[in-house]
Structure 1
Amino acid sequence: MGGRITDLRALKSGRVAVYLDGRRAFVLTAIEAAQLRAGQVLSEDEIARLLERDLLEQAHELALRFLSYRPRSEREVADHLRRKGFDAQTVEAELERLRRVGLVDDRAFAQFWVENRTAFRPRSRRALQAELRRKGIPPAIIQEVLQETSPDERSLALRLARDRARRLRGLDPLTFRRRLAGYLIRRGFDGELVREILRIIEAEMGQGRDLPLDESA
C-alpha cells in the first residue's frame, strides 16, 4: 500500500526507516533513502522498485565488505551472499556489477592465490590445483595460471625439505624420514618425488655438511 512520507529516521545500523502516514513502513540503505523527502507520495509500484534497488544495494555493501579482507573468487562471493539469504537473481546481478568494475576476476584471483601461496605457504602444483578448484576457478584458468606462475616442482620440494630438515635434526633416522616425508606429502608432492628428495637430503646429511639454503648452493 502506498502513502505519504511523514518521516525519515536514521538508524544506528546506518539504514533509514521510512514512515508513511505516521507509521514505520520499511527500511532502506542510506543511499536509497537519500532520494526521498518528507511529504513525497509513494505508490505501491514505487515502493516495490525502492525495495528491489535496496536489496541490490544491501548485497553490494556485503560483497564489498567481504572483498575488503582479501581478493575472492566469484564462487566465494556468490556463496557468501547466498549464506546471507540473497536469492539467485540478486546474487548474479551483484556479480555482474562487480565484474564490470573489476572487483571479481577469477584469473586475477588465481594469480594472487598462487603467488601468495608460493611466497608464504608453498604447495605443490597438485595441491594448488585442488585449492583453486575448491574456490570455483575454471580448469582452463587454473592451467594457464599455473603454467605462468608456479615454480619448478622439484626445486620447490627440495627447498622446503632442506628447511624442514634443519628443524628435525637430532631425531632418530626412522622418525626423521617419516616426519619429513609426511611434511612433503601434506603439501601435495607425489610419492616418487618425495622419495627422491629424501634420498638427496639423507645423502647431504650423511656427508656431514650443512644443508644448502637452496638447490643451487
Structure 2
Amino acid sequence: MENVITAIEAQKRNRQRVNVSLDGEFAFSLDRLTAAWLKPGRKLTAEEINRLQEQDDAESAHTRALHFLSFRSRSVQEMRDYLTRKGCSPELSSAVLVRLEEEGYLNDTRFCREWVENRNAFRPRGVSLIKAELRQKGIANETIESTLAQADLQESELALKAARRVAGRYTALPQETFRLRLGAFLQRRGFSYGVVSSVLNHIWNETQNSTHGQDTL
C-alpha cells in the first residue's frame, strides 16, 4: 500500500523540522535534511516511511549528542548513558556513537588525556582519585595507565599545588586544627597519608614564615 504526500510544511516553533501530511492528513514530522528529497505528490510505501522515521530518529539523536558535547568533552560511556536516558534504543545509541567517533567528536584516549591535564592545571588531586574518576566514566584501565604514565604526575607537587590554593582559609587556626582541616581536604582529593603528612609540614612552615615576614614589616 502506498500513501501520497499532500503537504510538507515547516514547523512554526522549529524551522529545522517539517510536518509531512499523507493523503490529506498529518502523518509525521522529520528533520529538514531527512525530508529534503520529498515532494508533494510523491508516493511512499510503508517501508519507505519506516526508513524515513529511522533516519529522523538517528538525526535527532545525533543533534542531541552534539548539544551534550557542547558543554565539555565526553567519554564514550558518558555519551551512551546520555542517549539511553533520552530514550534511544541500544541499536540507535551504538550507531550514533560510531558516527561520532568517525567524525572525531568522541575519543576516549583524547578524553582521558584532557581530563588528566584539566585536573592537573585546575583541580589537583591524587592519582588514585583520578583513576577512580576515569573508571567511573568508562575509560579502559589500559588507557588510564598509559595516559598517567605519559603525564608523569608527581603526587607531592600536585598536593602542594592543591594545598596552597586553600591554605589561606586556615592560617589563623592553631597548628593542630590547621593540620586537621587541610589534611582532611587533601585526603578527600585522593592523596595518600604519606604525601599529605609531608605537605602539611611544608605548608605550615610556609604560612608561618609568611606571617612572620609580614609582622616584621
The two structures have a TM-score, normalised by structure 1, of 0.91
TM-superposed CA distance for 1:25, in Å, is 0.7
Q: Output the CA distance in 2 between the equivalents of 1:81 and 1:184.
A: 35
Q: Output the CA distance in 2 between the equivalents of 1:61 and 1:2.
A: 30
Residues 7-156 of structure 1 aligned to structure 2 (within 5 Å): 7-11=7-11, 12-13=13-14, 14-156=16-158
Structure 1 residues 129, 35: closer, same or farther in 2, change over 3 A? same
TM-superposed CA distance for 1:150, in Å, is 4.9
Aligned residues: 209
What residue identity is the alignment partner of 2:203? I
Q: Output the CA distance in 2 between the equivalents of 1:59 and 1:159.
A: 41
- Secondary structure of 1:209 counterpart: helix
Q: Which digits, 9 at most, give the CA deviation of each residue in 1:167-204, with x for residues without a partner?
A: 31111222111111011111100112212222333345
Q: Output the CA distance in 2 between the equivalents of 1:150 and 1:2.
A: 64
The two structures have a TM-score, normalised by structure 2, of 0.91
TM-superposed CA distance for 1:47, in Å, is 0.7
Partner of 1:215: none
Residues 146-185 of structure 1 aligned to structure 2 (within 5 Å): 146-185=148-187
- Secondary structure of 2:33 counterpart: helix
TM-superposed CA distance for 1:159, in Å, is 2.9
Q: Check conservation: 1:118, 1:150, Cα contact below 8 A.
A: no
Structure 1 residue 5 and structure 2 residue 11: aligned?
no
- Mean Cα deviation higher: 162-171 or 105-114: 162-171
Q: Which digits, 9 at most, give the CA deviation of each residue in 1:143-181, with x for residues without a partner?
A: 111111253111221232234333311112221111110
Identity of aligned residues (%): 43
User: Runs of 5+ in structure 1 lacking a partner?
Assistant: 212-217
What residue identity is the alignment partner of 2:6? T
TM-superposed CA distance for 1:58, in Å, is 1.0
- Secondary structure of 1:146 counterpart: helix
Q: Output the CA distance in 2 between the equivalents of 1:123 and 1:202.
A: 19
TM-superposed CA distance for 1:69, in Å, is 1.4
For the aligned residue pairs, the C-alpha RMSD in angstroms reads 1.6
- Secondary structure of 2:167 counterpart: helix
Q: Output the CA distance in 2 between the equivalents of 1:91 and 1:150.
A: 35
What residue identity is the alignment partner of 1:88? P
Structure 1 residues 52, 159: closer, same or farther in 2, change over 3 A? closer
What residue identity is the alignment partner of 1:148? Q
